[in-house]
A and B are shown apart, each in its own frame.
Chain A
Amino acid sequence: MKIGVLALQGAFIEHINMLQSLGVEAVEVRLPADLEGLDGLIIPGGESTTIGKLATRFGLIEPLRHFAAEKPVWGTCAGMIFMAKEIGNGSAGRDQPLLGVMDVAVERNAFGRQVDSFEAELAVPVIQNGETRPFPAVFIRAPRLVAANGDAEVIARLPDGTAVAARQGHWLVTSFHPELTNDSRFHQYFLQLVENRKQGTGYRELAG
């Protein structure tokens, strides 16, 4: 199995280190040709405006959309914003290129500025396998999900009900940063989506 990590900007090394610790081959993706032969892709945290602009300037938007139609993609934080079909609040009207594949709407910087960044223990049933141990989630100038449409399904919420992770077929998004922790359960969950896709289950059409 070979997983790419979009390496335009942000915390891509952390994802690569985590994947390698799980015995998975992980490579940096900067140009369309780098997508060749990958089984899945992670879009890391970083600045979503920077990532979107670089992806546009280097002709990555369409190749990434085609890749996402076929293969599993996981966006963390900025990656979640980049994958969403809609963003609102603070970024409305701005020229911020999006992949726009997943049927979710997000709000950027939804918890405030950096002094409001936080850590929280999160219940995420799909990765807990019946265990009670919560997931240590790190939120940094994080976005939140304001809507999950179609068959997109919210898989984690904060205690106040705020939606912070979702899955739609072979696509996964998280507001927080599993790559900044020592807990590999989210990465293992994504690898399972990749494995399922390789086995021919979990396919979905690229909508709209």
Chain B
Amino acid sequence: MSKNGTNGQDAPGVVGSIKVKRGLAQMLKGGVIMDVVTPEQAVIAEEAGAVAVMALERVPADIRAQGGVARMSDPGLIKEIMQAVSIPVMAKARIGHFVEAQILEAIGVDYIDESEVLTPADEMYHINKHAFKVPFVCGCRNLGEALRRIGEGAAMIRTKGEAGTGDVVEAVRHARTVLGEIRRLQLMPDEELMTYAKEIGAPYELVVETKALGRLPVVNFAAGGIATPADAALMMQIGVDGVFVGSGIFKSGNPAQRAKAIVMATTYYNNPQILAEVSENLGEPMVGINVSSLPQSEQLAGRGW
């Protein structure tokens, strides 16, 4: 029996195990996690059928527009959002900023996103996520990066995409890269695995496990640039377990309607008839930024090591 965080009582069992951390992500599969900046937006997201919300002060599109250092959100705002909805609430900490993560754990968020959307606090090291009871999700662009994060204790992975652009091209690139590398790994003879692990900078045991499973050992969502129901269904058909939608909803003309449509598209991703129906009359999508027009220095996906 161990003591735990938020309810101040002895838990009836073992808390913070790998199984319960990864398990929550398993319950989010097939769902949409939406960025929200106010309790009112959180309620709209829950009403639309979001499986969780990401509590933020600024969505990535605004972080991109306003510049400056992007940090963890005000814990007061995150708590207000936690009180407004019954679904899980996630919040972001800067890469390597384990004190921000400690604060988020102390207020009882359900998942921490160690996120490249915020300005990194450490240019060498990510957070040791095993040290926390709260689970972490981390971004990746390829299999090596995904397995390094899992090695550090991430209980969920999201492909990075390019947040705040409304351009899905990077989300596609990163999802195809990770899933393609897993498919190639499955064809490799076992004697090649150690050298492959060395080449991609991944823990050997996780390479072996990924080969055996034919998928990442944790749930894998897509993120970064998803703005329409068709974008969400595209990512699902490519093979991810669910989607994060950041700026795409609340930077659009009719957020409630678009949020609902993206939720339906994520469930019925294989049914073009339903996808056509839910894509009708959604109003203006968010104004996009073509990723290929962004200078390297303004691309967020390169953050993280």
Chain B residues with Cβ below 8 Å from A158 are 12-13
- The CA-CA distance from A177 to B24 in the complex, in Å, is 11
Task: Give residues 46-68 of A contacting B (CB, 8 Å).
Answer: 46-47, 49-50, 53-54, 57
Residue B105, interface by CB 8 Å = yes
Task: Report the interface size class on chain A.
Answer: 35 or more
Interface segment among B28-36, B171-179, B244-252: the answer is B28-36
Does A8 make an interface contact (CB < 8 A)? yes
How distant is the Cα of A123 from the Cα of B15 in the complex, in angstroms? 19
Q: B30 contacts which of A7, A118, A140, A177 (Cβ < 8 Å)?
A: A7
For chain B, the count of residues having a C-beta within 8 Å of the partner chain is 47
* CB of B23 within 8 Å of the partner chain: yes
Interface set, chain B 256-286, CB cutoff 8 A to A: 260, 263-264, 266-268, 271
Q: Is B11 an interface residue (CB 8 A)?
A: yes
CB-CB < 8 A to B6: which residues of A? 112-113, 115-116
Name the segment of B42-50, B162-170, B201-209 touching the other chain: B42-50
Contact of A117 among B20, B86, B87, B109 (CB under 8 A): B20
Q: Give CA–CA (A167, B30) in the complex, Å.
A: 28
CA gap between A121 and B31 in the complex, in Å: 30
Main secondary structure of the interface of B (DSSP, over half): loop
User: Would A10 and B111 count as touching, CB distance under 8 A?
Assistant: no
For the complex, give the distance between the alpha carbons of A46 and B49 in Å.
Answer: 12
- In the complex formed, the residue of B with least CB distance to A121 is B13
Contact B47 A95 (CB under 8 A): yes
Q: A9-B267, A10-B27 are known contacts. Are A119 and B49 too (CB-CB below 8 A)?
A: no
Binary per-residue interface labels of chain A (60-100) against chain B in the complex, 1 for a CB within 8 Å, 0 otherwise: 00000000000000000110000000000011001100000
A13 at the interface (CB under 8 A from B): yes
Residues A46 and B4 in contact, CB atoms below 8 Å apart: no
A37 to chain B, nearest CB (A): 20
Task: Identify the 3 closest CB pairs spanning chains A and B, nearest first.
Answer: A120-B13, A118-B13, A114-B110
> Which residues of B are interface residues toward A (Cβ below 8 A)?
4-7, 11-17, 19-20, 23-24, 26-31, 46-52, 82, 86-88, 105, 108-111, 133-135, 260, 263-264, 266-268, 271
